[in-house]
Amino acid sequence: MSREIVAIAADHGGYEMKELLKADLDGLGFDVLDLGTNNADSVDYPDFGHAIGEAIANSQARYGVAICGSGIGISIAANRHANVRAALCHDGLTAKLSRQHNNANVLALGARIIGIETARDAVSAFFTTDFEGGRHERRVDKIELT
Ligand code: RB5
C-alpha cells in the first residue's frame, strides 16, 4: 500500500527543525515531499507558505508541516489557499486539538518559539489524532469561503 504524502516547508528560521522532523514523519509512515528551503540562507516565508498551500490545494500532499521562526507568517500564507487549514501549534495538546476539532491539515510550528522535542510531540500528536466530526464538522464547513 502506498504511503500518504506530507509536504514540509520552512524558511531559514525553520530550516534546521525541518531537517530534523523529516525523520519523524518517515517514522510515522509518511512519504515526505520537501518543498525547501534547502539551507539556512535568508529567504521569504510567504514563498514557502504558498508552496505548502498549493501542494494541499492541488492534492499533491494530504497534509503539511510549515515552519518559520514564529510559525505565524508561514501559516498565514498557507491559509490563503483553498481547503487549507493550517494550525499554529505550540505543543502536543494544541496539535491534538487542531486535528480533533478543526480538522487541520497543515501543522505550523515556530522554531524560535518551541524546541525540537516539543515540536516532535506536536508532530506525533498531529499525525496520530483523527478529526472527531459531529458538531465540529458543521463548524469546519463554515470556515471555507465559497
Ligand atoms: C524571519 O526572520 C521571520 O520573520 C520568519 O521566520 C517568521 O517568524 C515570520 O512570521
The parent domain of residue 13 ranges over 5-143
Residue nearest to ligand 1 atom 9, measured at CA: 73
Which residue among 45, 47, 67, 88 has the greatest number of ligand 1 atoms within 8 angstroms of its CB, and so is best to mutate?
Answer: 45
In this prediction, residues 24-47 reach a mean pLDDT of: 98
Neighbours of 13 (CB within 10 A): 23
Q: Which atom of ligand 1 is nearest to the CA of 13?
A: 6
The pTM assigned to this predicted structure is 0.97
Amino acid at the residue 2: S
User: How many domains is the chain partitioned into structurally?
Assistant: 1
Q: Is the peptide bond before 37 cis (omega within 30 degrees of 0)?
A: yes
pLDDT tens figures, 85-122: 999 999 999 999 999 999 999 999 999 999 999 999 99
Report whether pLDDT(128) > 80.
yes
| Long-range contacts at 79-84 (CB < 8 A, ≥ 24 apart) | 79/53, 80/49, 80/50, 80/53, 81/50, 81/53, 81/54, 81/56, 81/57, 82/57, 82/144, 83/56, 83/57, 83/144, 84/52, 84/53, 84/56, 84/57
In this prediction, residues 68-81 reach a mean pLDDT of: 98
pLDDT band at 80 (very low <50, low <70, confident <90, very high): very high
- Ligand 1 site, CB within 6 A: 11, 13, 45, 68-70, 72-73
Q: 79, 36 in Cβ contact below 8 A?
A: no
- SS3 sequence, 98-139? HHHCCCCCEEEEECCCCCHHHHHHHHHHHCCCCCCCCHHHHH
In this prediction, residues 72-94 reach a mean pLDDT of: 98
Q: 119, 111 in Cβ contact below 8 A?
A: yes
Q: 126, 99 in Cβ contact below 8 A?
A: yes
Q: Which atom of ligand 1 is nearest to the CA of 110?
A: 8
Report whether pLDDT(1) > 80.
no
6 alpha carbon – ligand 1 mean position (Å) = 22
**Residue (of 84, 85, 90) closest to 102 by Cα position:** 85
- CATH code for the domain in which residue 56 is found: 3.40.1400.10
Residue nearest to ligand 1 atom 10, measured at CA: 73
Positions marked catalytic:
68, 101
Joined together, the cell numbers standing for residue 15 give 530550516
